[in-house]
């Protein structure tokens, strides 16, 4: 059974700091991994999607890496800003043609202080 | 291009009642998935629909049901509501089903409170 873990559960940093969020998964037979952002009381906003054949994806100040063999992904946020404060979730999809079901981690709640 | 639209955004029900939530996917997307989010359990998969067919179902009791219409819009229904059904119900759409679905796009959710 696939399990996804995110560490730390919460993180507080001063503005301008570079930071790394971690995601680990127990079954390496994934099709892709997706990072989301969730603001309080809101839905999920897709940040980055990494296919299992890829090593990393970049979007602006965000960079996500994937090491499938070790079951790990990291989300790197450069030059953090107060607007980055949110909960960040990673999710993996199983390598199966039958479903696009995502398994989510519990998330890391980030606070960036001005 | 409009995103995923969920209605209603907020609703309050009492135990024993039933509720229907609606989801309109992004135009052109044919797959809709539903997830339940609670503080204790996090995000859990409910069901996935593609071309009006249920492709996969999560580990939820039969009180939870759904359907998809020919225009790809989807509804989920929860009957005989329990206090534990209080949650944020999120709908996600993608252009196709299965692992080829790629990126999922989520709506703002329907916040259900059961009293």
At B67-109, the pLDDT tens digits run 999 999 999 999 999 999 999 999 999 887 665 667 889 999 9
Contacts of B23 (CB under 8 A, 6+ apart): B4, B5, B6, B32, B34, B73, B74, B75, B76, B91, B93, B107
Provide the pLDDT for residue B68: 97
Nearest CB among B42, B90, B98 relative to A100 is that of: B98
Question: How far is A12 from B43, CA to CA, in rounded Å?
Answer: 23
Average pLDDT over residues B41-49: 94
The mean of the pLDDT values for chain B is 93
Residue of B98, B107, B111 best to disrupt the A interface, most CBs of A under 10 A: B98
In chain A (114 residues long), the average pLDDT of successive 10-residue segments reads: 93 96 93 93 93 93 95 97 97 74 94 96
Average pLDDT over residues B31-54: 93
Q: Is the pLDDT of residue B19 over 70?
A: yes
Structure-token match 């580990």, residue found: B59
The minimum CA-CA distance between B56 and chain A, rounded to whole Å, is 6
CB contact under 8 A, A105 and B42: yes
CB contact under 8 A, A98 and B98: yes
Question: Residue-wise over A63-77: b if at least 16 C-beta within 10 A, else e?
Answer: bbbbebeebbbbbeb
Provide the pLDDT for residue A65: 97
B1: confidence class by pLDDT, cuts 50, 70, 90: low
* Contact present, A8 and A61 (Cβ < 8 Å): no
The minimum CA-CA distance between B33 and chain A, rounded to whole Å, is 8
Chains A–B, number of C-beta pairs less than 8 Å apart:
75
* Residue A104: strand pairing partners: A91
B75 backbone dihedrals φ, ψ, rounded to 5°? -130, 150
Nearest CB among B56, B88, B90 relative to A101 is that of: B56
Query: How many residues are given for chain A?
Result: 114
CB contact under 8 A, B97 and A99: yes
């Amino acid at each position: 059974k696939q399990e996804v873990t995110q560490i730390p559960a919460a993180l507080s940093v001063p503005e301008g700091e570079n930071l790394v969020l971690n995601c680990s998964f127990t079954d390496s037979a994934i099709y892709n991994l997706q990072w989301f952002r969730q603001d309080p009381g809101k839905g999920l906003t897709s940040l980055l999607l990494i296919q299992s054949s890829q090593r990393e994806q970049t979007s602006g100040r965000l960079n996500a890496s994937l090491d499938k063999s070790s079951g790990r992904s990291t989300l790197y946020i450069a030059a953090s800003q107060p607007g980055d404060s949110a909960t960040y979730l990673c999710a993996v999809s199983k390598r199966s043609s039958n479903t696009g079901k995502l398994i989510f981690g519990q998330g890391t709640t980030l606070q960036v202080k001005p | 291009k409009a995103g995923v639209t969920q209605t209603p955004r907020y609703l309050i029900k009492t135990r024993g009642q039933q509720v229907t939530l609606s989801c309109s996917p992004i135009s052109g997307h044919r797959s809709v998935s539903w997830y339940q989010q609670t503080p204790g359990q996090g995000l859990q998969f409910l069901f996935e629909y593609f071309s009006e067919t249920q492709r996969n179902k999560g580990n939820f009791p039969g009180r939870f049901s759904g359907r998809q219409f020919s225009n790809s819009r989807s509804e989920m229904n929860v009957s005989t509501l329990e206090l534990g059904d209080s949650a944020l119900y999120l709908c996600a759409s993608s252009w196709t089903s299965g692992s080829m679905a790629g990126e999922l796009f989520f709506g703002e959710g329907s916040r259900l409170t059961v009293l």
